[in-house]
C-alpha cells in the first residue's frame, strides 16, 4: 500500500487552492473547476469542491466541518515561513513553538478552518526521524533524495 494524498472538500475550491499554493509554494494541477492537486515531495494535497461529494455518497463529506485532522508539512525553517505567511493567516493557533517531541511547529487554520501544521525538526532525535542531517535543510534533503 502506498499513501498518496489527503483530500479536503470545500465550498470554494479557487480560494482554498490559492491559499495552499501560497503556503506550499507549489503550483496546483487542476483536473477541472472543482478539483485540483497540490503536489509536494512527500505526497499530494487534493482539494475537491462540495459538488464532488455525491460521487462518494451523499453526505459523506461536509465542507469546513473538520475538527480532527491536521494537515502537516515538513519545512526548512518554520520561523521564516511564519514571517512569510503571517499577514495572510486569519487564525494562528500556536505560533512557532518547540514541541516536546523535538519539532519547532506553527499551527494555524486554513480559510475553511482546517488545522495546518508547518514544522521543522530541531532536536537530534527529530532530525533522525525525518532523515535530516545536522546543518542541512529538511526540504532540500527530501528533494535531493
Confidence of residue 138 (pLDDT cuts 50, 70, 90): low
For residue 83, pLDDT beyond 90? yes
How would CATH label the architecture of 65-145? Roll (3.10)
The CATH number of domain 1-58 is 3.40.50.300 = no
- Taking residues 108-132, report their average pLDDT: 95
Domain boundaries, the chain: 1-58, 65-145
Domain 1-58 and domain 65-145 have a common topology = no
Q: Are 106 and 81 in contact (CB under 8 A)?
A: yes
- Taking residues 118-128, report their average pLDDT: 96
Q: Quick one: CA torsion of 109, 59, 34, 44, rounded to 10 degrees? A: 60
Q: Are 107 and 69 in contact (CB under 8 A)?
A: no
pLDDT of the residue at 102: 96
Rounded distance between C-alpha atoms, residue 138 and residue 121, angstroms: 8
Confidence of residue 134 (pLDDT cuts 50, 70, 90): confident
Rounded distance between C-alpha atoms, residue 134 and residue 6, angstroms: 30
For residue 133, pLDDT beyond 90? no
pLDDT of the residue at 108: 98
Amino acid at each position: 500500500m502506498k499513501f498518496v494524498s489527503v483530500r479536503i472538500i470545500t465550498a470554494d475550491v479557487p480560494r482554498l487552492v490559492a491559499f495552499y499554493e501560497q503556503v506550499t509554494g507549489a503550483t496546483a494541477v487542476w483536473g477541472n473547476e472543482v478539483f485540483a492537486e497540490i503536489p509536494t515531495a512527500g505526497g499530494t494535497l487534493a482539494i475537491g469542491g462540495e459538488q464532488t461529494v455525491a460521487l462518494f455518497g451523499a453526505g459523506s463529506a461536509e465542507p469546513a466541518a473538520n475538527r480532527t485532522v491536521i494537515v502537516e508539512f515538513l519545512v526548512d525553517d518554520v520561523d521564516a515561513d511564519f514571517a512569510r505567511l503571517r499577514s495572510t493567516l486569519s487564525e494562528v493557533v500556536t505560533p512557532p513553538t518547540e514541541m516536546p517531541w523535538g519539532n519547532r511547529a506553527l499551527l494555524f487554520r486554513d480559510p475553511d478552518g482546517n488545522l495546518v501544521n508547518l514544522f521543522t525538526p530541531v532536536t537530534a532525535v527529530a532530525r533522525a526521524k525525518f532523515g535530516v542531517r545536522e546543518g542541512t535543510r529538511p526540504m532540500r534533503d527530501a528533494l535531493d533524495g
